[in-house]
Chains A and B, each alone.
Chain A
């Protein structure tokens, strides 16, 4: 089947409205949405979870399921109305002209079908080529997506490949028939930062090579900046601002876009001198939208009578090509006023050492064979290898690393859920490293508490919020009577800025950010002195992240807590931590103050990590470092330096030192520690990864 030839825009979406019909009500997921994708262009679609990004994508694919319907507007692909096509015609277009890539690579590949078979299906269906020809093409595309050993990969099942490889297969599958439009729905969210960087790089190159237009969906502004030409910002089912990347990033014309940029930690933001400005309130549910402007209740520029009377149309911005904004006060707002720095804080001097980790080791014995376990062979997984550091009162220590680097294991050992294999954890000079939680006294347990990652998992769904906090108080032996504990519980709700009425609510009645606040209140119930926060905001929407982060900082200031902040997100780490510890495959590879870690000399891994993190700031120039391959599995770590399989500096170390010997820890000026064989002179020659471009 030949492709349609057409000169105009590839995709024109015009005033599209999509609703889902449930038994209770109609849910308008997308309203009055327009966007145009020109040939060879990449358009980014950003917005928070639930704002309708995926729905737009599925609308284009005409695959909204049984209860989703297009209730207004048109979607034209190469001039043809997709809504008027028969099922037959649609099938011809899907996979052939328009291809789609989703978030979860593992889930989008058929687990019971060999990769090769899934790939060759595309040209066989659409072009009727022979199996041999299809296989030849599959191999070509696999080479294009930089997968090693295509022959073997074609014969593998998806589960035999790593996450990064799977996502490359999905991309290859989408490219098999050289589509004119590629829709990517959060294609890298499930991947580690360094792997994500490589995949994004690949998508960009291939887009150019194949001349494919792209609709790139993401909640990450930095990623959009790196990949797209045009951007469309969505809020609660509507596009609120569209335009070219530079227009929207630098000359934004919508209060939501502005608030969004002010709430994400860009370089330059600092928890004391330039704190983030959180967007107040919560994202409205589709059926609870306000009248007039959807952003109204959270908007700083809201004007009664103007913003909440009628639906606000998309307005063209004067003096710009293709720059639109859905706000009725564009001209009245002074877009250049700097952030009003309402709150600035003294930076706290760190106090005494409260926690000392001394050569901590945690090894696991795992059965080599998962299903038929216990049938003999065991392997040792070294989850934590000789960790040593100190943490002081009122200090924030960030632990950074990608999946499997041993962050969470360390947290477990510290909490007493696991015991250390070797070494010690000294809390006020008392070793608790080998004391399991049952054997710890109440005070120790109350002293070290934790905030969990997933807000939907952190609260017991069948117990009221208040009851869960009171239970913590009971366990920590707070107060004498139920009344006393109840009072304290209400105070804790105040502390995390939740209305007292929430005490009687069930967790399912709370939003993600609110749940996370309850989690924080619970952690501080026993007056914790050390709080481990395991990616406390990574599952939250951008606009709530800032609020929760600020809350944590505020409580820390008040309570002089030592905060161990576990994260893979370097932007937020730079923003809030005093010291940073970078981990890779169980090893601490770098440890120092935030400034030391974020400026050269770097550990080679830190350098790559910094380069991989997308930054939503057009004035930032980044050095481009792409790491080869995936993170090795902790079951079979490489010999010698853990990072040697992907290190670009390895060649600067004489001999095969990197492959044979684990590097020692080098202490540089100011107590900055790096675990690498590179000699000092080489380290000093490193250039900064992130530069603010001279304007």
Chain B
């Protein structure tokens, strides 16, 4: 079999990505149809920039999802090494391909003779799970601390702000090098941090429900009971790992998270949370001067009700925009970790690590490093464009 030409490669890739296109088209058709009744999300479809961004983001979400959950799209096992495919250029036919094997390495082979295309797609799976999740947790932490700091001000604010500034003054890389090492993992430190950080969603949920429904205790107890049970089990499963420093109640330890992954996750949350904290704090200080907050105060509402039901919902615009931007930033951070070989296993197909592997032979074989670079660039770009579109639309009327 022959080397594919560039146009063949493109056609093949487009075909290979078929399910993604179908999903994208359906998503856009449906959203367009109902855009007037979909609030801010619907308004996004009035902005070209926003739509482009959203399309790119969803492209990767679908690609990552189909590859991760259904094993579609990827052409070869991203971890498998194929003899004779070392550093082969894009379009090289797979030597000794058997029936049922995909016949080519669409984007070539890397220095360990693995398929670059499949590794790129496989790399997206982990990003689209970790980046939004980590950002979400960072937001939980930032909100749970930032709203009271902004609302009460005073000593509480000074203390939390000082700690936040402390973390912010730390060069991120130094922090990663200190936190994301196998040795630190042995001490159980990341797990202890997880114990604290993952507690925030539980606190957040409890306060949220209690402040609203404390007037109707039966309803509150029911909601809290169910919610906390579910969250609690997730929490315990998350922080527990058999054979590590934290392992108790193993009967309800539903799943284990890879220790490296957990460490990465925790440190990314840790690095992001202070910035979210600052944003939330600023927004809170602004919104708390509004009359409707005063109105709530004059009818004797509790502080947490005011913070979570009167202030927070009205800060959502800027927070949603920042959420998108921050997912992008988190993606970059994950790439940085991979680039320095921190955290995940060395053979893991995450983009950062792949770029790092590829850069050593960059001047001779650029494709193994270029492909994940462009993938990462496009995803972050999509998120930034999406955030820009959202910002623009949320400012309008």
Which residue in chain A gives the minimum CB-CB distance to B292?
A460
Q: How far is the CB of B379 from chain A (nearest CB, A)?
A: 29
Q: How far is the CB of A20 from chain B (nearest CB, A)?
A: 13
Q: Which residues of B contact A449 (CB under 8 A)?
A: 298-299
| Interface bin, chain B | 20 to 34
Q: Are B295 and A452 in touch, CB under 8 angstroms?
A: yes
A460-B310 contact given A438-B300, A442-B300, A475-B299, CB 8 Å threshold: yes
A476-B299 contact given A460-B310, A462-B314, CB 8 Å threshold: yes
Q: Are B300 and A450 in touch, CB under 8 angstroms?
A: no
Q: Which residues of A contact B300 (CB under 8 A)?
A: 437-438, 440, 442, 445, 475
Task: Give the secondary structure class of B's interface.
Answer: helix
A633 contacts B by Cβ under 8 Å: no
Which residue in chain B gives the minimum CB-CB distance to A437?
B300
* Cα–Cα, bound, A440→B216 (Å): 20
Interface bits B273-312 vs A (CB < 8 Å: 1, else 0):
0000000000000000011101111111110000001100
Residues 314-363 (chain B) with a chain A CB within 8 angstroms: 314, 316
Q: Which residues of B contact A454 (CB under 8 A)?
A: 291
Q: Are B297 and A461 in touch, CB under 8 angstroms?
A: no
Q: Which residues of B contact A526 (CB under 8 A)?
A: 299
Residues 440-458 (chain A) with a chain B CB within 8 angstroms: 440, 442, 445-446, 448-450, 452-454, 457-458
Q: How far is the CB of B44 from chain A (nearest CB, A)?
A: 14
Q: Which residues of A contact B309 (CB under 8 A)?
A: 463
B215 contacts A by Cβ under 8 Å: yes
Central interface residue in B290, B298, B310, B314, by most chain A CB within 10 Å: B298
* Cα–Cα, bound, A459→B296 (Å): 10
Q: Are B299 and A445 in touch, CB under 8 angstroms?
A: yes
B313 contacts A by Cβ under 8 Å: yes
* Cα–Cα, bound, A440→B291 (Å): 21
* Cα–Cα, bound, A442→B215 (Å): 12
Q: Which residues of B contact A522 (CB under 8 A)?
A: 295
* Cα–Cα, bound, A445→B302 (Å): 13
Which residue in chain B gives the minimum CB-CB distance to A456?
B291
Which residue in chain A gives the minimum CB-CB distance to B313?
A462
Q: Which residues of A contact B313 (CB under 8 A)?
A: 460, 462-463
Q: Are B294 and A417 in touch, CB under 8 angstroms?
A: yes
Q: Which residues of A contact B46 (CB under 8 A)?
A: 23
Q: How far is the CB of A17 from chain B (nearest CB, A)?
A: 24
* Cα–Cα, bound, A452→B316 (Å): 24
Residues 505-529 (chain A) with a chain B CB within 8 angstroms: 519, 522, 526
* Cα–Cα, bound, A463→B309 (Å): 9
* Cα–Cα, bound, A461→B290 (Å): 11
A472 contacts B by Cβ under 8 Å: yes
Q: Which residues of A contact B294 (CB under 8 A)?
A: 417, 450, 452
Q: Are B299 and A458 in touch, CB under 8 angstroms?
A: no
Q: Which residues of A contact B301 (CB under 8 A)?
A: 475
Q: Are B292 and A457 in touch, CB under 8 angstroms?
A: yes
Which residue in chain A gives the minimum CB-CB distance to B158?
A374
A415 contacts B by Cβ under 8 Å: yes
Specify which of B295, B296, B316 is in contact with A462 (CB 8 Å cutoff): B316
Interface bits A359-391 vs B (CB < 8 Å: 1, else 0):
000000000000000000000000000000000
* Cα–Cα, bound, A475→B297 (Å): 11
* Cα–Cα, bound, A442→B298 (Å): 11
* Cα–Cα, bound, A463→B312 (Å): 12
A569 contacts B by Cβ under 8 Å: no
Q: How far is the CB of A550 from chain B (nearest CB, A)?
A: 22
* Cα–Cα, bound, A525→B279 (Å): 35
Interface bits A453-487 vs B (CB < 8 Å: 1, else 0):
11001111111000000001011110000000000
Q: Are B297 and A437 in touch, CB under 8 angstroms?
A: yes
Q: Which residues of A contact B292 (CB under 8 A)?
A: 457-461
A417-B295 contact given A462-B314, A462-B316, CB 8 Å threshold: no
A461-B314 contact given A452-B291, A453-B291, A475-B215, CB 8 Å threshold: yes
Q: How far is the CB of A209 from chain B (nearest CB, A)?
A: 43
Q: Which residues of A contact B299 (CB under 8 A)?
A: 445-446, 449, 472, 475-476, 526
Q: How far is the CB of B312 from chain A (nearest CB, A)?
A: 9
* Cα–Cα, bound, A417→B298 (Å): 7
Which residue in chain B gives the minimum CB-CB distance to A481?
B216
Q: Are B310 and A437 in touch, CB under 8 angstroms?
A: no
* Cα–Cα, bound, A462→B287 (Å): 13
Q: Which residues of B contact A446 (CB under 8 A)?
A: 299
Q: Which residues of B contact A448 (CB under 8 A)?
A: 298
Q: How far is the CB of A557 from chain B (nearest CB, A)?
A: 24
* Cα–Cα, bound, A448→B297 (Å): 12
Central interface residue in B296, B297, B299, by most chain A CB within 10 Å: B299
Q: Which residues of A contact B290 (CB under 8 A)?
A: 457
* Cα–Cα, bound, A476→B295 (Å): 13
* Cα–Cα, bound, A457→B286 (Å): 13
Specify which of B216, B291, B297 is in contact with A457 (CB 8 Å cutoff): B291
Q: Which residues of B contact A440 (CB under 8 A)?
A: 300
Q: How far is the CB of A433 from chain B (nearest CB, A)?
A: 16
Q: Are B291 and A417 in touch, CB under 8 angstroms?
A: no
Which residue in chain B gives the minimum CB-CB distance to A453?
B291
Q: How far is the CB of A407 from chain B (nearest CB, A)?
A: 14
* Cα–Cα, bound, A415→B290 (Å): 16
Q: How far is the CB of B304 from chain A (nearest CB, A)?
A: 12
Central interface residue in B290, B296, B314, by most chain A CB within 10 Å: B290
Q: Are B298 and A415 in touch, CB under 8 angstroms?
A: yes
Q: Which residues of B contact A472 (CB under 8 A)?
A: 299
Q: Are A417 and B297 in touch, CB under 8 angstroms?
A: yes
Specify which of A450, A460, A463, A477 is in contact with B298 (CB 8 Å cutoff): A450
Q: How far is the CB of A330 from chain B (nearest CB, A)?
A: 39
* Cα–Cα, bound, A416→B302 (Å): 14
Known: A450-B298, A474-B215. 8 other contacts (CB 8 A): A417-B298, A442-B300, A448-B298, A450-B295, A457-B292, A458-B291, A459-B292, A475-B301
12 pairs of residues in contact across A and B, judged by CB atoms under 8 Å: A23-B46, A415-B298, A417-B298, A437-B298, A445-B298, A446-B299, A448-B298, A462-B313, A462-B316, A463-B313, A475-B300, A526-B299
Which residues of A does B touch, CB under 8 Å?
23, 415-417, 437-438, 440, 442, 445-446, 448-450, 452-454, 457-463, 472, 474-477, 519, 522, 526
Nearest 7 interchain pairs by C-beta: A457-B291, A452-B291, A462-B313, A445-B300, A460-B292, A458-B291, A415-B298
